[in-house]
Amino acid sequence: RRDDPAHRSESPVSNAVDRDLLVRLHEAVGSAGLVTDPDRMRGHLTDWRDAYRGRAAAVVRPGSAEEVSRVVGLCHRAGVAVVPQGGNTGLCGGSVPDSSGAQIALSLTRLRRVREVDPANQTITVEAGVVLENVQRAAREAGLLFPLSLGAQGNCTIGGNLATNAGGTAVLRYGTMRDLTLGLEVVLPDGRVWDGLRGLRKDNTGYDLKHLFIGSEGTLGVITAAVLTLFPAIRSRATAWVALPDPQAAVDLIGVLRATAGPRLTGCELMSAQSLEFVLRHVPGTRDPFTGAHPWYALVELSDPMADAGLDATLETALGAAFDRELLLDAVVAEGSARIAALWNLREGISEAQNQEGPSLKHDVTVPIGSIPAFVRETDEALRAAVPGIRIVTYGHVGDGNLHYNLSGPLGMEPDVFRARAEELARIVYDSTARFAGSISAEHGLGQSKRDLLADYKPAVEIELMRGVKRLLDPAGLMNPGKVLPAE
Ligand code: FAD
Ligand code: MLT
Ligand code: ZN
């Protein structure tokens, strides 16, 4: 048993769980599926930003749903906690194990089969570890569209997208991951498999259980596959970059765009001048579409399945109406796919660019769209009073009322000094969000970063019902403990 990791005495972490479990896990997934070597485990014990770090007894990488079932069943019987993970691009630390070294990190990335594309039903059935970009590609190859779209799409997995109910840049037209899902296959916390892989658009046979697992961040079970909805492929696109005086102009612009383009409005992304400044400084090959600086910018996109949908003319009509109402300071319409991609690069580059500027304190919030101007005004004012010189990197999916209210420290402030203010600054943003009847997590989830805050921002009865669901599905509390639900 030389290659049996359970018998290696040099592993410093595997002592934390019963060695017998490691032997059984090895039997269940083979050498390719069990990682105990600290160097190979490292990438599984942190997140994309390296904002959270944990330890684990082992990383288990099953190659099929049957293997996931066996692994979860073994951990259940041994009383060992399991932390599901996909691409580790989540922004709330949900996929990172705790520091005990007693948990098993369960990576789903070997479940990467596209099981079926069904053009008649306009659905695709994929396993949890398929990278989002590969789902988009499979749909495209079938002449169809899978519309979920976000900056991490080259690394995040469908399982992670489902577990966080990911949103992204096309929610305005197509909805969130919840809206794009017809069926799920889930391994329950005791190892049983729920085969709910139904591709039905109508199914009123009682409670819709898939919605419990979508957005549950790995705390109720392990998603192993899903049936997702597809749409007609996009054959024409019109994209503009506009400059705005203030957030009120952005809210009014959305009204104009909706009235003119209806469902062909697929994206409306807002960025503060600070966001663009970071991108231009840190993302190679980017350039400002305008010559002068402006306070706010928006990226607007119309799209349509018809090749000759006349989108350029529609966009020009809308922008003309917006200029007439003095909503715009400047505007440029991109010509050709390279220019369109360059504009999206300015938007999608913000997260990465902000990482280069030291710690980025992330606050992913929603408020009703009409409240955005007052919300931004009041929140900015309170943040600037708390930390003079703070760099406020506000941007996001304004059409959904979703802003990423991300903060970087003032120039010259030591990273640790700024980090030490994180809790106080989060309170400012979330108290303001609550005053405007918003949510403290729009699309990133709660993970470990926001779980304890929940008790202050969600009605107690709602949290009690959530605990009841957790107790029902996971009475032993072994699925991703310490995430989502506030400590009791
Ligand atoms: P992970 O990070 O691996 O996991 C996330 C959570 O899901 C964890 O709680 C984990 O336990 C759980 N989980 C993972 N797989 C499973 C599974 N199979 N079964 C059960 N639970 C599971 N999010 C948005 O919504 N919109 C955006 O626009 C957006 N943009 C981003 C841009 C960048 C640059 C980055 C880095 C992240 C962005 N995100 C965005 C955040 C993130 O939520 C998404 O990237 C994605 O949904 C996470 O997928 P993942 O596979 O990396 O999941
Ligand atoms: C985005 O929309 O770019 C991400 O969800 C925001 C972030 O990285 O904070
Ligand atoms: Zn986002």
CATH code assigned at 343: 3.30.70.2190
Instruction: Assess if residue 479 is contained within a domain.
Output: no
Yes or no: say if 132 and 150 are a contact pair by the CB < 8 Å rule: yes
Closest residue by CA, ligand 1 atom 21: 218
**CB 347 near ligand 2, within 6 Å:** no
Q: Is 237 in the pocket of ligand 2 (CB under 6 A)?
A: no
* CA distance linking residue 448 with residue 443, whole number of Å: 15
User: What pLDDT, on a 0 to 100 scale, did the predictor assign at position 17?
Assistant: 78
C-alpha 159 – ligand 1 centre gap (Å): 8
Together in a domain, 374 and 428? yes
The answer, yes or no, to whether any atom of ligand 2 lies below 6 A from the CB of 362, is: yes
Is there an atom of ligand 1 within 6 Å of 447 CB?
Answer: yes
Look at residue 9 in the predicted model and tell me its pLDDT.
33
The answer to whether residue 214 sits within a structural domain is yes
pLDDT of residue 16: 57
Task: Give the count of beta carbons closer than 10 Å to the beta carbon of residue 201.
Answer: 10
Residue 310 burial (C-beta neighbours within 10 Å; 0-12, 13-18, 19+): middle
Instruction: Determine if ligand 2 sits within 6 Å of the CB of residue 63.
Output: no
pLDDT of residue 218: 98
Q: What is the pLDDT along the chain (488 residues), one digit of tens a residue?
A: 233 333 333 334 445 578 999 999 999 999 999 999 999 999 999 999 899 999 999 999 999 999 999 999 999 999 999 999 999 999 999 999 999 999 999 999 999 999 999 999 999 999 999 999 999 999 999 999 999 999 999 999 999 999 999 999 999 999 999 999 999 999 999 999 999 999 999 999 999 999 999 999 999 999 999 999 999 999 999 999 999 999 999 999 999 999 999 999 999 999 999 999 999 999 999 999 999 899 999 999 999 999 999 999 999 999 999 999 999 999 999 999 999 999 999 999 999 999 999 999 999 999 999 999 999 999 999 999 999 999 999 999 999 999 999 999 999 999 999 999 999 999 999 999 999 999 999 999 999 999 999 999 999 999 999 999 999 999 999 999 999 999 98
**Hey, which of 350, 365, 440 would you mutate to test ligand 2's pocket, going by the most ligand atoms within 8 Å of its Cβ?**
350
Provide the 10 A C-beta neighbour count for residue 110.
18
Using a 6 Å cutoff on CB, does residue 169 contact ligand 2? no
**Residue 125 and residue 219 in one domain:** yes
Ligand 1 closest atom vs CA 221: 20
**Are both 138 and 95 inside the same structural domain?**
no
Taking the CA of residue 360 as reference, the ligand 2 atom at the shortest distance is 9
Ligand 2 centroid distance, CA of 351 (Å): 6
In a domain, 10, yes or no: yes
Mark whether 24 and 79 lie in a shared domain: yes
Number of DSSP helices (H) and strands (E) in the chain, helices first? 17, 18
Nearest CA to ligand 1 atom 47: 161
Residues 375, 387: one domain? yes
Cβ of residue 269 lying under 6 Å from some atom of ligand 1: no
Note whether 243 and 335 are same-domain residues: yes
Asked whether residue 102 is domain-assigned, the answer is: yes
* pLDDT recorded at residue 76: 98
Q: Is 97 near ligand 1, meaning CB less than 6 Å away?
A: no
In a domain, 484, yes or no: no
Closest ligand to 443 CA? 1
Q: Are residues 81 and 171 in the same domain?
A: no
Four-CA torsion 341, 114, 75, 221, nearest 10 degrees = 70
Question: 329 alpha carbon to ligand 1 midpoint, in Å?
Answer: 36
Distance CA 68, CA 85 (A): 12
Q: 81 and 71 in contact (C-beta within 8 Å)? A: no
Q: How many domains does the chain have?
A: 4
> Quick check: is 331 in a domain?
yes
Span from the CA of 164 to the centroid of ligand 1 (angstroms):
6
- What angle (nearest 5°) sits at the alpha carbon of residue 209, between those of residues 207 and 215? 130
Q: Is the CB of 164 under 6 A from ligand 2?
A: no
* 299 Cα to the center of ligand 2, angstroms: 15
Domain that includes residue 344, residue range: 236-351
Evaluate: CB of 406 within 6 angstroms of ligand 1: no
Q: Is 159 in the pocket of ligand 1 (CB under 6 A)?
A: yes
- Quick one: tokens of 461? 């009865």
The answer on 260 and 339 residing in a single domain is yes
Ligand 1 pocket: which of 127, 132, 156, 223 to mutate (most atoms within 8 A of CB): 156
- 482 located within any domain: no
Q: Where are the beta strands (DSSP E) in 93-174?
A: 104-107, 114-118, 123-127, 144-145
Quick one: pLDDT at residue 11?
38
Residue 445 belongs to some domain of the structure: no
Residue that terminates a domain, selected from 329, 351, 373: 351
- Ligand 2 centroid, distance to 300 Cα (angstroms): 17
User: Where in 109-206 does DSSP place strands (E)?
Assistant: 114-118, 123-127, 144-145, 181-187, 193-196
Phi/psi for 477 (5° steps) reads: 65, 40
Q: Is the CB of 351 under 6 A from ligand 1?
A: yes
Q: Which ligand 2 atom sits nearest the alpha carbon of residue 354? A: 8
Question: Do 127 and 179 fall into the same domain?
Answer: yes
| DSSP H or E segment with residue 301 | strand 296-304
pLDDT tens for 292-350 read 899 999 999 999 999 999 999 999 999 999 999 999 999 999 999 999 999 999 999 99
Residues 221 and 253 in one domain: no
